[in-house]
A and B are shown apart, each in its own frame.
Chain A
Amino acid sequence: AQKVTQAQTEISVVEKEDVTLDCVYETRDTTYYLFWYKQPPSGELVFLIRRNSFDEQNEISGRYSWNFQKSTSSFNFTITASQVVDSAVYFCALSSGNAGNMLTFGGGTRLMVKP
């Protein structure tokens, strides 16, 4: 069985603050992939990043960065200098061989960035 936990259900920050969204996962597989998706108010889920279990390098893309730590089974997402347009629900997800091709999602974190 695999599981993704996003303990923060809602976060509110003021524009320009940095914010980190936590994601903890469980899987028995040694090969797996982790994803982050963004769901803006319009509703469509947008793919942000994919990371495989053998690549623990952190990644930065503009104001976004991801910290993957296998030792703590975490794949956290940080937004630097947040903007109002970052307001959305963010989902962390996991796929692994034992679960076939099913992507298991966390419960999501609703981020509200206030001007």
Chain B
Amino acid sequence: GAGVSQSPSNKVTEKGKDVELRCDPISGHTALYWYRQSLGQGLEFLIYFQGNSAPDKSGLPSDRFSAERTGGSVSTLTIQRTQQEDSAVYLCASSLRQYLDSPLHFGNGTRLTVT
């Protein structure tokens, strides 16, 4: 079956520009997560959506970062006025339910390079 799909796979942008990253979760998965992975580093939690509940934005590093999830499915992560330190791989994941034991299914990520 189709896995988590992210687009674009690669994005190069100039410092100061806005970017939008898209995530299509697995059909039927109610929970959606965004993580960031900097070069050679672990995964940093950004934001979490569960159904129609208010998202958990506790991991967003600054107010330049925002995300939305439309219709409980597709999600868009937006970074405004990009900075070089935003360069990373942005990973989206979905899970069947919100519980602690539910494994995450990850997409291949969007590699963002800010020049």
In the complex, chain B residues whose CB is within 8 Å of the CB of A107: 41-42
**B23 beta carbon closer than 8 Å to chain A:** no
Question: Please, how many residues of chain A have a CB less than 8 angstroms from a CB on the other chain?
Answer: 26
Total inter-chain residue pairs, C-beta < 8 Å? 59
Question: Cβ of B101 and Cβ of A91 under 8 Å apart?
Answer: no
In the complex, chain A residues whose CB is within 8 Å of the CB of B41: 107-108
The interface centre, meaning the residue of B89, B91, B106 with most chain A CB atoms within 10 A of its CB, is B106
Question: Cβ of A100 and Cβ of B101 under 8 Å apart?
Answer: no
User: Which residue in B42, B48, B104 is a CB contact (below 8 Å) of A108?
Assistant: B42
In the complex, chain A residues whose CB is within 8 Å of the CB of B105: 47
User: Which residue in B100, B103, B109 is a CB contact (below 8 Å) of A47?
Assistant: B103
Q: What is the minimal beta-carbon distance from A66 to any residue of chain B, in angstroms?
A: 14
Question: Cβ of A97 and Cβ of B100 under 8 Å apart?
Answer: yes
Can you give 11 A-B contacts (C-beta < 8 A)?
Answer: A35-B103, A37-B106, A44-B109, A47-B103, A47-B104, A50-B101, A50-B103, A91-B43, A100-B56, A101-B48, A101-B98
